[in-house]
Structure 1
Amino acid sequence: MAEKLEKEQGFIMKEDAGRGYRRVVASPKPIDVIEKEMIKELVEDGKVVISCGGGGIPVIREDEMVKGVAAVIDKDFAAEKLAEILEADCLLILTAVDRVCVNFNKPDQKELAEINIEEVNRYIEEGQFAPGSMLPKVEACKKFVMHDGSKIAMIASLSKAKEALKGLSGTKIVR
């Protein structure tokens, strides 16, 4: 099937870690959220807004029209962009682990309760965070904190979101 799609549609297909094949498309970082004004209005009205699901739908503006494109917007960077637009005080990215770790799954694994941008940069340079997994989460948090030094970002498990906001769980990323 993958070969057929490559031949007939011109798609680029790659094996996905023993789970079959996936189409490979561009993964640009978001530069805007089209529905931002509506989202801001709902948030200001006290509504819970669910948006940018899975990163959102990638589009381009062409001749004053919005047109869908074959791409995947990273969900962590979409969350960062929306938090930036909304001027949020905190960006909380929820995942499957309680804290960001260095030396992940190794005997000397270390959980990080709080890290600053200098440490984030060092750990990224060392290759401590897996691409497509923890790396985009950490990079999105770094971008949010760098945008406005008075803001914080957190990475925590879904089951401990409340505790993370109280500083009892998760990894806090500060300038």
Structure 2
Amino acid sequence: MRTAIALGGNAIASESPVTVARQKARIGETVDAVEALTDRGHELVFTHGNGPQVGQSLVQQATADAPERPLHVLVAETQAQIGYLIADQLEGAVDGRIATVVTRVRVDPADPDFDDPSKPVGPYYTAAEAAEKPFETGEVTTPDGDRAYRRLVPSPEPTAVLETDAIRALVDGGSTVVCGGGGGVPVVDDGGDAVVRDRGGDGVVGHGDGDGVVRDGDGVDAVVDKDRTTRLVASAVDAECLVMATDVEYAYRDFGTDDQRPIRETDAASLRVALEKGEFAAGSMRPKIEACLAFLDDGGERAVITTPDEIDAAVAGDAGTQIRP
């Protein structure tokens, strides 16, 4: 069986500051589960989030006396950093080679999220702290169900993964692949007409050459939701199972209230009704649910939401939220 596993950024680094030692320890917690999967013949593809990591990079950059690096470059840096740590921890736990692919994704420069940023990154703030920040923030729900605020950046929809052929070839060749980190580095190709400008007003950060090919310099300041990119990767490599490994054991109904209850078994139609009723928060569980549904619509056999240490049990059908077509 071919299985795609998405490791959430908060599941890798849930505490601040985000240190290498903490990330290695959290990633290491998944090794036993992953080893059990490979022992049962699973071919694995990993993606991962980078919200806490890129958020910390933004904070560090704001206080550093050094040349500023665009957000899309910070995405690439954290993608390579986390990919290396995942590969390092997986060494010896999986059969064959481990390949880490720094991944780019194509986005539409006219995507409305550039004008109305929706992606929360970085640490949680109180309302008072958020009011003092020089950037846009929005209200979110913490893993404990509390209300807080985080920095908001543009999160356009990914339309294609540029490294799809390379990723598929590596998986077909027997490699365990780590890719799509942080949703991938967002790049644009607008046919040479439009440009995308840095929201800070410092000039063009994306453009196209008119021939349908993304070229150097086409990175755009945004963070693509890794769950949406994960769905594209999982479908592209013909994965049968998609695992969303996050920092809660289940998707919940009425999350954050006294009436919250876990969703253990469901189907796509029932989950879509709950989604349309607004059951799932936009900054946390909603994109995971949407990605799972899209994966099943594309022919996937099953999607699962669980914690990293329950991956093996969840793939076996004994833990987490089990979603079937």
Shorter-chain TM range is 0.7 to 0.9
Query: How far does residue 126 in structure 1 lie from its aligned partner after superposition?
Result: 2.0
- Please say if 1:40 is aligned against 2:162: no
SS of corresponding position for 1:70: coil
Match of 2:259 in 1: 108
Q: Per-residue CA shift, 1:95-127, capped at 9, x if unaligned?
A: 011111101132322211121122112211221
User: 1:6-60 CA deviation, whole Å, 9 max, x = no partner?
Assistant: xxxxx983135699874632x1221111111111111112211111101110012
| Unaligned runs of at least 5 residues, structure 1 | 6-10
Letter in 2 for 1:99: Y
SS in 1 for 2:303: strand
What's the TM-score once normalised by structure 1's chain length? Answer: 0.84
Q: Percent identity, aligned pairs only?
A: 34
- Give the corresponding residue for 2:153: 24
Q: CA RMSD in A?
A: 2.4
Aligned to 1:155: 305
Matched with 1:138 is 289
Residues 1:86 and 2:237 aligned together: yes
Structure 2 unaligned blocks of 5 or more? 1-61, 63-114, 118-134, 140-146, 190-207
**Which protein, 1 or 2, shows the higher relative CO under an 8 Å CA cutoff with sep ≥ 6?**
2
Residue 130 of structure 1 deviates from its aligned partner by 0.8
CA 53–106 in structure 1, closer or farther in 2 if over 3 Å, else same: same
AA of the residue aligned to 2:314? A
- Structure 1 residues 23 and 155: CA distance shift in structure 2, 3 A: closer
Runs (4+) of structure 1 exceeding 4 A deviation are 16-21
Indicate the SS of the match to 1:65: coil
With normalisation by structure 2, the TM-score equals 0.47
Instruction: Give the partner amino acid of 2:173.
Output: D
* Distance apart, 1:173 and its partner CA: 1.3
| Contact persistence 2:138–2:152 (CA under 8 A) | no
What letter corresponds to residue 161 of structure 1 in structure 2?
A: I
Change (3 A) 1:19 1:154: closer
Higher mean C-alpha deviation, range 104-113 or range 127-136: 104-113
- Among 318, 321, 325, which residue is 1:168 paired with? 318
Aligned: 1:59 with 2:187: yes
For the residue of structure 1 that corresponds to 2:319, the secondary structure is coil
- Residue pair 2:244, 2:306 contacting (<8 A) in 1 also: yes
The answer to whether 1:14 aligns with 2:136 is yes
> Residue 44 of structure 2 corresponds to which residue in structure 1?
none
Q: Distance in 1 between matches of 2:278 and 2:152?
A: 26
Q: Aligned match of 1:96 in 216, 232, 247?
A: 247
Cα 1:117–1:166 change in 2 (3 A) is same
Q: For residues 286 and 137 of structure 2, what CA distance do their matches in structure 1 show?
A: 21
Say which SS state the counterpart of residue 68 (structure 1) adopts. coil
When residues 120 and 20 of structure 1 are mapped into structure 2, their CA distance, relative to the original with a 3 A threshold, is closer
User: Which one-letter code corresponds to 1:159 in the other structure?
Assistant: D
Q: Aligned AA for 1:158?
A: P
Match in the other structure for 2:275: 124
Q: Would you say how many aligned residue pairs link Structure 1 and Structure 2?
A: 164
Q: Secondary structure at the match of 1:58?
A: strand
